[in-house]
Amino acid sequence: MDISGSRGIERQFALDHLGDGPGTVLDIGPGPKPKACMAAIERGFDVVAVDMEPIREEWVMAYTLKGDRKFEWGFVKNTLPSGQGALLDIGPAPGDPKPARIAAGRGWTVTAVGLEEPFRRLPENRYTFIQGDFNEVDLAPNSFDYILNISTIEHFGLAGRYGIDVLDEDADLRGMAKARTLLKPEGRMLFTIPVGQDAVFPPRHRVYGAQRLPLLLAGWQVVTAEYFGKFSGVDQYVECTRKEAYQIEPTIGEKAYYGLGLFVLAVDL
């Protein structure tokens, strides 16, 4: 009797009845090539697998940055109030400056500063773009009610990307110090960064941990702080403690990964 293909039929039967997550799936006896587990994870489930045989190394899912923008942009969407004041966006993404779009849509007058102008245009009556190095651009002190600093500061001063030619190891610290001078005393900065074991991956980014993060936050009051990482072999961000975030080992390359830190900051008067 030829039973070739039976595993595929059985797996498809399970997936046809599984639906989509979120939720938790128990896979009893997935075998060394857990294709059904991988499919369940891709559908949004957390998976617990039990077997006598270990999973082959090539099937162990590597963590990636999948979902990082969802958390960062969702953080802005859920945290930024409506307003009619002045808002500064530091380093808008060249492809889609979504945080600035959220701010303009909520009534803020947005000034954005970055090395590369975004491709996607925003309403000119509520959006001004200044092209240049944030640390060198002249902006009036105490002039912004809110600042968006979303996955930006970790790139400051790393030569080889975004038109940066000369390494400046402390450009990130100077950028954070400058942002303090631009925020009104009662203002707030929404701030997101890579977190994990301290590392620098030129020309890509820095990762902030127990050594560098306190330097970055010097002079700031942390109003709220949230940390996210990926655990238990599941490529999905979940909330964790600061201690757990500091222990994340960042990677670089095709499957780059780090934890996320989401902060609301105020000037420490």
User: Rounded to the nearest 5 degrees, what angle is found at the Cα of 154, between the Cα atoms of 143 and 75?
Assistant: 65
How high does pLDDT run on average in the chain?
A: 88
88 and 49 together in one domain:
no
**Does the pLDDT at position 4 exceed 60?**
no
152 and 223 together in one domain:
yes
Query: Is pLDDT larger for residue 50 or for residue 135?
Result: 135
Write the pLDDT tens digit of every residue in 13-66: 777 777 777 788 887 877 766 777 677 776 777 777 777 776 665 555 578 898
Count of all residues that appear for the chain in the document: 269
42 and 109 together in one domain:
no
Rounded to an integer, what distance in angstroms lies between the CA atom of residue 182 and that of residue 233? 42
Query: Is pLDDT larger for residue 236 or for residue 142?
Result: 142
Domain boundary among 59, 79, 96: 59
- pLDDT number for residue 7: 67
Rounded to an integer, what distance in angstroms lies between the CA atom of residue 212 and that of residue 172? 10
Q: What SS3 class is residue 155?
A: helix
CA atoms within 13 A on the CB side of 103: 32
* Residue 1 is assigned to a structural domain of this protein: no
List the one residue out of 180, 244, 252 whose CA is nearest residue 217: 180
- pLDDT number for residue 235: 84
- pLDDT number for residue 147: 98
Q: Exposed (0-12), middle (13-18) or buried (19+): which is 178, by Cβ within 10 Å?
A: middle
Torsion angles phi and psi, residue 11, rounded to 5 = -65, -45
List the one residue out of 132, 85, 130 whose CA is nearest residue 111: 130
**Does the pLDDT at position 189 exceed 90?**
yes
Confidence bin at 212 (pLDDT 50/70/90):
very high
User: Rounded to the nearest 5 degrees, what angle is found at the Cα of 19, between the Cα atoms of 13 and 24?
Assistant: 105
**How many domains does the chain divide into?**
2
Q: What SS3 class is residue 72?
A: helix
CATH number of the domain within which 76 lies: 3.40.50.150
Bridge partners (DSSP) of residue 7 are none
Q: What SS3 class is residue 185?
A: strand
127 and 11 together in one domain:
no
* Mean pLDDT on 158-182: 93
Which pTM does this prediction carry? 0.79
15 and 140 together in one domain:
no
State the residue range of the domain holding 90.
Answer: 68-267
